[in-house]
Amino acid sequence: MMARVTVRLLLAKDSHTILSQAVRQMIPYAASHNALITSMPQVYAYSTQTRSLNNKAKESVNLGPHIQENLKKFREGSHENVSVPEELQHFRKSTEEGVKGNGPEEEKPPMGAVALPHPIWSEEELHSVHVTHRNPEGIVDKIAYMGVKFTRGCYDFVSGYSRGRQDEKMWVSRLCFLETVAGVPGMVAAMVRHLTSLRKMRRDHGWIHTLLEEAENERMHLMVMLQLKQPSLFFRLGVMVTQGVFVSGFSVAYMLSPRLCHRFVGYLEEEAVITYTKLLKEIDSGAMQHWNTLPGPDVAISYWKLRPGAAMKDVILAIRADEAHHRVVNHTLSSLKDDDYNPYKPGQ
C-alpha cells in the first residue's frame, strides 16, 4: 500500500497535489486509526492555504502594476487589453522620435572629435621639423630605400610634379592620392600582428595600438584634403586600383619581413616630410601664398586642437609634424625584433 502511495506522490506536479493525493489515498487505510482520520482535514486545509499564499507570492514578485492589471484582465477574458510587442519599449523601431541614436544632425560630434590618441603639437614643435635621412645599412634597408625612390619617381612624373606644375589643383590632388596610400601600411601591419597574436596565442608587446593610430592619422590627413577637393570618378578608380595592389603586396611583404616594411614606410615618410616642406615654401613665397589666409577646415581644427581661425598653413604644419613622427616611429620599429616591446605609449 505505501509503495503505491509513494509512486503516485512522485508523479504529482506540486505540493498541493501531493498533499491532496496523500489525503485521498491514506484515509481508506486509516479507518482504524481515529487520530490520523482526525488530522487529515487539517492537513488538507493547510495544503490549500499554502497554495493560495504561493500563488499570491508569485504574482507579487517582480510584477509591476501594469503587468498585474494585464494578468487580471487576461483571467477575466479581456484578451484585447494585453500588451502587444509593438507597444513595448524594446520593440520600438529606431525611426521613432526620441529613440537614442537618432537625434538631430547638429547633435552629432564633428569629424575628428572622436579619434584614437594622437600627438597634439605645440607651436615650437610645429616649426622645429627638419628634413632628415637615415642612411641604408644592409640589403634590407637598400631594397626599401630604392623601392621608395622608384615609386616616388614614377608618381612625380605621372602627376606632373617633376615637370614644374605647382598650382593648387596639383597640390590638392597629389596630397589626396598620397594619403590614400599612406593610410594602408599601419592598418595592414596592425591586422597582421593582430591575427598573428590570435593564431599563436601570445601577446603583441604593444605594437598594434601604435600602428592603428598611424593608420587613422593618415586617414585624417585625407579627410582634411577632401574638404578642398571633390574627387572625380577617374580619380576614385585610380585609388581603388592602387589600393587593391598595394594592400595585397604589402600584406604579403609584411608577413615575410616586417623589418623591410617598416623601413620602407620610414623612407616613405622621409619623402612626405620633403613634400610638405616644399609646400610650406610655396605657401611662404610661391604659388600657394593664399593658404596663409585660407581658413583651415573645421575637421583639422578639431582634430589637432588648433587655435580658432587657424589657416591652411597651420594645418600643413601639423600634417608635416605627423609625418616626421611616423618617420621616427617606423625607423625605430624596423630596428626592433618582432617580440621587443613597443617604446611608444598610446598617443605618443
Of 317, 278, 339, nearest to 123 (Cα)?
317
Of 52, 64, 59, nearest to 75 (Cα)?
59
Backbone angles phi, psi at 295, to 5 degrees: -60, 140
- Helix (H) or strand (E) holding 121, with range, is none
Residue whose C-alpha cell reads 605618443 in the numeric block? 348
Cα first-last separation, the chain: 84
CA atoms within 13 A on the CB side of 39: 8
326 labelled ligand-binding: yes
Q: How far apart are CA 208 and CA 310, in angstroms?
A: 32
Residue 157 is which amino acid?
F
90 labelled ligand-binding: no
Of 322, 315, 298, nearest to 171 (Cα)?
315
Residue 325: other Cβ atoms inside 10 A: 21
Q: What does the DSSP 8-state code read for residue 120? A: -
323 labelled ligand-binding: yes
137 labelled ligand-binding: no
CA atoms within 13 A on the CB side of 12: 16
Q: How far apart are CA 313 and CA 290, in angstroms?
A: 9
Write down the H helix ranges in 11-117: 15-26, 34-60, 65-76
Backbone angles phi, psi at 141, to 5 degrees: -60, -40
Q: How far apart are CA 132 and CA 116, in angstroms?
A: 27
214 labelled ligand-binding: no
**Residues marked as binding?**
179, 218, 221, 269, 323, 326
Residue ranges of the binding site for Fe cation: 179, 218, 221, 269, 323, 326
